[in-house]
Structure 1
């Protein structure tokens, strides 16, 4: 697949970067064509891959912090559903819908936000969606009808979805493949904790004050995130940076001949045509790129399982173990611990495996080097699901249930991190669009799985209900990585151009 810009490879010694105030490079010429604007060799410090580690971690931390709040809002309603339903006269399905519709919006938002970030840059998309999400989350807190609450939740979710589209793109912009697992693990750890911490925080809010503070408190946090993003986040999208550089050269020299690789590809296209082509890119990837299809299936199932567990875990403890709402929320700590350990161990492990396989191929790096970590991770997840289901079904001591769900979270976390690193490696020029394509199925699964979960557990019980899901997980999680390992290079070579 043709890349939109030929970015220079990052040098291995990244800790010996010049000071940030020495960053400016003025030479537009790094190729035979003196008017083709590219990053100057050997090291151009405006190239995000060459940024000092402090700046890289700064933009990564901003995304991670904003992602925590946006994802926490997706689950923080769980313990309050019955209270909200009673006050706003909602049925059980309607109250679950009020929580899940947020996730439905995250299926469609990235399809718009991801491609636009590849046209206008990551920075304006992050700032705009931060403010959009803040506004509609505040509206949720003042909702006085079920229609307004559900509508405001959908629109808030649309703004929150930017994190799914932008994260992979930004991390691919600034981190080299050898550090991708660690950076992904550290980035994902904070947002994914939001999904597990949400019910814990929501349970204590609902017991001490009105449910409206669920939205007002998270809006206060989001306002702080808006300020932090405006102050800290820098543009990371290389083609956008180069376009600004080319525009500067055209303006200062009076010579309109300067251009970038992306601008050359877009010659003859109108701006509306460029935007239309970009907006259709995630769907084209999902339809015609087998790599994206396999990744979407695997990560979609894992994400659906995660939200199924998150949405039903509190009911297990209140209905089967007869615990209070606040105490039932503490069991979500088990999910948090599984995810934290998965991030801390998984990221470095993925990088270690990648570097080891790269040495075996005399320095040739392939995205498929992420696969060996996926297989044991996607086996471990279903084993945790088996343990959680049958322990809950037989009302075994609560610690056994929590260990099972921690193992489930641990396995899914490592597998999904390796899978996301694989997609970033496979689509370095269009990571946001590829992420948007896979997020579409992930969000639909997260929206749909909680809807059938209560009926499934009612009919099958926790034992056979979770076992059924675990068998499906094994049926997907073992063959899919083997397929990628065996046929990944051929599938990537046959993928249609996405520009």
Structure 2
């Protein structure tokens, strides 16, 4: 039998939603008329199974322990914990260097503030470039090998940063370190989709996201004291030690989690053992035969396809980029305000970031407790049918909380109110940012579970680009407008974007269904 007959003899499973029963394809006309649609869907296999008589290789039953979705809960959380641990180190590097940049200027006789700011923000340019090819490569060769290679790449470039003899070399090394460091930020979403069913993804995403959001807050605290008490070079030596030690542990404990790659390895093994050349992966059923070059081309274009062809993904990217840019504009003033206005040392001024950090922690805790429960309730009210937009309603509340900080922090710092007041004023922004980020990230995982890494790459690349470039305009803006009106401008901008979550909730489903994106290369 040829591969075409094999493909026709099996019910097509939707790879894009491989772990969602409601998205599995079936022919209703062949079902007994007395059965309801719910009964039919419930009777279908959740995961593709091996059928050697048809030349198909899948899982050895629905409870196959090799399937990452069937891993023990302790193993799932341990694997996610490994990714999350390094996901803390990489963003830590983005801001840990920031308070010490003043000492770099002294060592290299660099007085241009834009160049010094670029040495900090260039790391996020690496976050823009890296995800666009690392995420698709993980969907070809697997999460483990791509993550491991990129993490070591990140670690090695810390040596270059520490030994840099001029600002130009430092900027180049920071760029490459950012490229490597972007892997854990990007692939974490894929690992969440690989391991966790829909009903627990909200909590898993919240835990994984602690690193990317707490790292930039804790970084300035550690970096400020290191730069002040030792030297700015020790910022990078510390990152080398911590990152290298952590990655060494990951090498020993990490496992491959991407189902199509695991089954591809199984096909290769069985083909050799059974001396058969007709075996194909159940995840490749219905796909057009492609050369390695075609597969690479399609995979590498996947994040761009999502941004350009999916209006809902493009809108989410723009909204998340705005919020992320506001965060880094926030960061441009904090150190200077608390050193010049309140007389803090460089090291102690980093502690001011705790206001926004506590907000992040509270926001993450709220989302971890409520998001999955809300989805379960809305799904039940919708007759048991899940829709990704059910992640979005709480965004409306948090989007309204987010602008408060700009007016509170801006005017209290402008009027030199007691130092604790502007620090507390940062708290609402942290809470609001978490309430916006978590639903968006979980939403794209739910929409594209098989390609969650590429979908998250689209979000990461766009927000990192804005986060890198927008703060370069911060010093000029605040010099012209002052802290009060400068932050108020940002607050009004955040207020203007409050209706966006309402649009997502009300029209997101229609937009998503009207402009579907073919990411699989399947035949029409």
TM range (shorter): over 0.9
Judge conservation of contact 2:185–2:212 (CA < 8 Å) in 1: no
1:244 to 251, 265, 268: 265
> Structure 1 residues 74, 271: closer, same or farther in 2, change over 3 A?
same
Q: Quote how far apart the aligned CAs of 1:346 are.
A: 1.5
2:420 to 378, 386, 399: 399
**Distance in 2 between the 1:365 and 1:250 partners?**
38
CA deviation profile, 1:423-475 (whole Å, cap 9, x unmatched): 11111121111111121210111101210111111111122211211222222
Judge conservation of contact 1:28–1:36 (CA < 8 Å) in 2: no
**Distance in 2 between the 1:265 and 1:125 partners?**
27
The answer to whether structure 1 residue 87 and structure 2 residue 98 are counterparts is: no
Q: Quote how far apart the aligned CAs of 1:38 are.
A: 2.5
RMSD: 1.9
The answer to whether structure 1 residue 191 and structure 2 residue 212 are counterparts is: yes
Q: Quote how far apart the aligned CAs of 1:350 are.
A: 0.9
Partner of 2:31: none
Q: Quote how far apart the aligned CAs of 1:335 are.
A: 1.8
Q: Quote how far apart the aligned CAs of 1:40 are.
A: 4.0
Judge conservation of contact 1:106–1:157 (CA < 8 Å) in 2: yes
Judge conservation of contact 2:17–2:449 (CA < 8 Å) in 1: no
Partner of 1:69: 89
> Structure 1 residues 33, 94: closer, same or farther in 2, change over 3 A?
farther
Judge conservation of contact 2:325–2:466 (CA < 8 Å) in 1: yes
Partner of 1:24: none
Q: Quote how far apart the aligned CAs of 1:30 are.
A: 4.9
Q: Report how many residues are paired.
A: 482
Partner of 1:4: 15
Partner of 2:482: 461
**Structure 1 portions without partners, runs of 5+:** 11-26
Q: Quote how far apart the aligned CAs of 1:168 are.
A: 0.8
Partner of 1:473: 494
Judge conservation of contact 1:168–1:435 (CA < 8 Å) in 2: yes
Q: How does 1:369-448 map to 2 (within 5 A)?
A: 369-448=390-469
> Structure 1 residues 488, 142: closer, same or farther in 2, change over 3 A?
same
**Distance in 2 between the 1:265 and 1:75 partners?**
46
Question: Which structure has the larger Rg?
Answer: 2
The answer to whether structure 1 residue 145 and structure 2 residue 156 are counterparts is: no
Q: Quote how far apart the aligned CAs of 1:50 are.
A: 1.5
> Structure 1 residues 337, 29: closer, same or farther in 2, change over 3 A?
closer
2:64 to 44, 68, 77: 44
**Structure 2 portions without partners, runs of 5+:** 1-11, 22-46
TM-score for both structures, normalised by structure 1: 0.93
Q: Quote how far apart the aligned CAs of 1:244 are.
A: 1.1
**Distance in 2 between the 1:266 and 1:86 partners?**
59
CA deviation profile, 1:250-290 (whole Å, cap 9, x unmatched): 11111122211444455431101110111111111111111
TM-score for both structures, normalised by structure 2: 0.88
**Distance in 1 between the 2:389 and 2:20 partners?**
19
The answer to whether structure 1 residue 57 and structure 2 residue 77 are counterparts is: yes
**Distance in 2 between the 1:414 and 1:40 partners?**
40
Q: Quote how far apart the aligned CAs of 1:84 are.
A: 0.2
**Distance in 2 between the 1:480 and 1:410 partners?**
18
Partner of 2:233: 212
Q: Give 3-state SS (helix, strand or coil) of 2:276's partner.
A: coil
**Distance in 2 between the 1:495 and 1:297 partners?**
19
> Structure 1 residues 371, 194: closer, same or farther in 2, change over 3 A?
same
1:126 to 134, 147, 156: 147
**Distance in 1 between the 2:20 and 2:67 partners?**
10
